[in-house]
Amino acid sequence: MIQEIVKRSKPLPPKSKLIIFGGGFSGQRIASVGRHLGVKVLCSRRREGSKGADFIFNTDQELSNEILEGATHVLSCIPPLLNGEDPVLLKLKTQLLNSKKIKWVGYLSTTGVYGDSKGNWVNENTPPNPQQERSIRRLSCEKQWLDTKLPIQILRLPGIYGPGRSVFESLSNGTTKMIDKPGQVFSRIHVDDIAGSVLFLINLYCQGKTPSVVNVADNLPANNLDVINYAAKIAKKSLPSRVPFEIAQKTMSPMAISFWQENRKVDNKLLCKKLGYSLIYPDFKSGLKNCFLQLKIN
């Protein structure tokens, strides 16, 4: 809930202006928290009339100079182009480099850049080894941002969930699939902790704590069946029979199969132990309780 994130977050310096490129699930949440903290926030969408569109950003049109004027903090949530180029840098690199006021730049990337660790832990010192095309493109964009020498932080995110975007939706519409792949785990992060982490890291950065890469994940990587079973128990929903992965993959899309081809646990010790961020939802159980509560409220 917004109030919980705001309560835990320190205000940004006076006259801060946060520009968010990409007003999707995470971008909108971060924008909302920033505004509740009294920050001037402008958030982009690709099309006119989209929810939460303070301005339009895409590669087909020029951006007004007024948008970046006075910006102190910039966050990109936009995925790479198919050629591996970063769309924000492609259009705005010169403007960003010429800015005298930008104190922090963030880029939301993916823990997919680590590739498959066979279920072992990965941390920020683990050499990236992306195997999926989309993760190869993400790593390319990370390097492009780091090469700018802007005050950049790369936030690597695992599977994102939150109210309206969790297992409860598939339970409600009957599309839940109980795919059984022993030993397979996924790391996750609640959207509120993405927003909380962004505001937390911005404040730390101005204090001189400036790690270039930070994993933003909860404490408990878990098998997908454990997550589904817990949600079904809360929602009092029955479940279909388990299907071995070897059988289930025959009807999966290439995208879905790609998620199951990698197995890793994401270490968050840098964020939570060394830097001191306190997770609002430290595991999928606390996070799913929040998602279900929001369902009942709405």
Contact 91/81 with Cβ under 8 angstroms? Answer: no
Assigned token pair, 175: 């599309």
pLDDT value for 156: 98
- pLDDT above 90: percentage of residues in the chain: 88
- pLDDT above 70: percentage of residues in the chain: 99
Which pTM was predicted?
Answer: 0.96
CA angle 162, 165, 169 (to 5 degrees): 125
pLDDT value for 3: 84
| Bridge partners, residue 114, by sequence | none
Query: 121-122 and 265-266: which strand pairing?
Result: parallel
212-223 pLDDT, tens per residue? 999 999 999 999
Q: What is the DSSP-derived secondary structure letter of residue 3?
A: H
- Cβ neighbour number for residue 165 with a 10 Å cutoff: 12
Q: What is the DSSP-derived secondary structure letter of residue 82?
A: T
53-97 pLDDT, tens per residue? 899 998 888 888 899 999 999 999 999 999 999 999 999 999 999
- CATH, domain 2-161+189-219+265-280, list 1.10.10.10, 3.20.20.100, 3.40.50.720, 3.40.50.620: 3.40.50.720
126-167 pLDDT, tens per residue? 999 999 999 999 999 999 999 999 999 999 999 999 999 999
Per-residue exposure over 172-184, b if at least 16 CB sit within 10 Å of its own CB, e if not: eeeebeebbbeeb
